[in-house]
Amino acid sequence: MSTNDAVLNAERGYLAQARADMKQMRKNTLSLRALSADRVSEAYLQAALYRRARSLVDDPSVPLFFGCIDLDTAESFHIGRRHVMDAAGDPVVVDWRAEISGAFYRATRTDPQGVTLRRRFGFAGGEITSYEDEHLTDTTEPEVRSRILTEEI
């Protein structure tokens, strides 16, 4: 595995930051107190907060995202198994079921749907080992530039 690949190193750094952001989301959830006018509502709110905090426990053996899209609007979205946001509330990882994620699955060279680049990641043990770029609007680039197979061999 090449460690001199700037893109791969940047994506590894992005994953580390996404994990830190999710940890902060969990910490913020655990700091909340359920207050209500009655005990039943308060118990319900406490249970909801507990479920939310439990859902934010990170499993380091599972990647937080599996792909990324760059849009013609200069925006970029990492697509993954859950939504993760930073301290400002901006998306760091977008849930695969979100509307914007649909372009990751449906975009093609003949219908890029605003996607200029689709990137897929290879993982081992929750860490990024490789990536594959698919250029959807740049006809001078090969349609797919794969580093997944070459990096994981």
CA distance 63 to 69: 17
Quick check: is 43 in a domain?
yes
Quick check: is 79 in a domain?
yes
Quick check: is 131 in a domain?
yes
Quick check: is 1 in a domain?
no
Quick check: is 145 in a domain?
yes
The one-letter amino acid at 5:
D
pLDDT digits (tens, 9 = 90+) for 28-43: 988 888 888 889 998 9
Q: Tokens 């070459």 sit at which residue? A: 150
pLDDT of residue 4: 74
pTM: 0.83
Quick check: is 75 in a domain?
yes
pLDDT digits (tens, 9 = 90+) for 50-79: 998 898 998 999 899 999 999 999 999 999
Quick check: is 143 in a domain?
yes
pLDDT digits (tens, 9 = 90+) for 135-146: 998 877 766 655
User: Is residue 114 scored above 50 in pLDDT?
Assistant: yes
CB atoms within 10 A of CB 48: 13
The pair of three-digit structure tokens given for residue 101, joined into one six-digit string: 């994620």
Quick check: is 38 in a domain?
yes
SS (H, E, C) the chain: CCCCCHHHHHHHHHHHHHHHHHHHHHHHHHCCCCCCCCHHHHHHHHHHHHHHHHHCCCCCCCCCEEEEEEECCCCEEEEECCCEECCCCCEEEEECCCHHHHHHHHCCCCCCCCEEEEEEEEEECCEEEEEEEEECCCCCCCCEEECHHHHHC
The pair of three-digit structure tokens given for residue 53, joined into one six-digit string: 């905090």
pLDDT of residue 144: 62
Domain range for 70:
6-152
pLDDT digits (tens, 9 = 90+) for 126-137: 899 999 999 998
* Summary mean pLDDT of the chain: 88
Q: What total number of domains does the chain contain?
A: 1
The bridge status of strand 91-95 relative to strand 76-80 is: parallel
Using only C-alpha atoms, the chain has a radius of gyration, in whole angstroms, of: 19
Burial class of 119 by CB neighbour count within 10 A (0 to 12, 13 to 18, 19+): buried
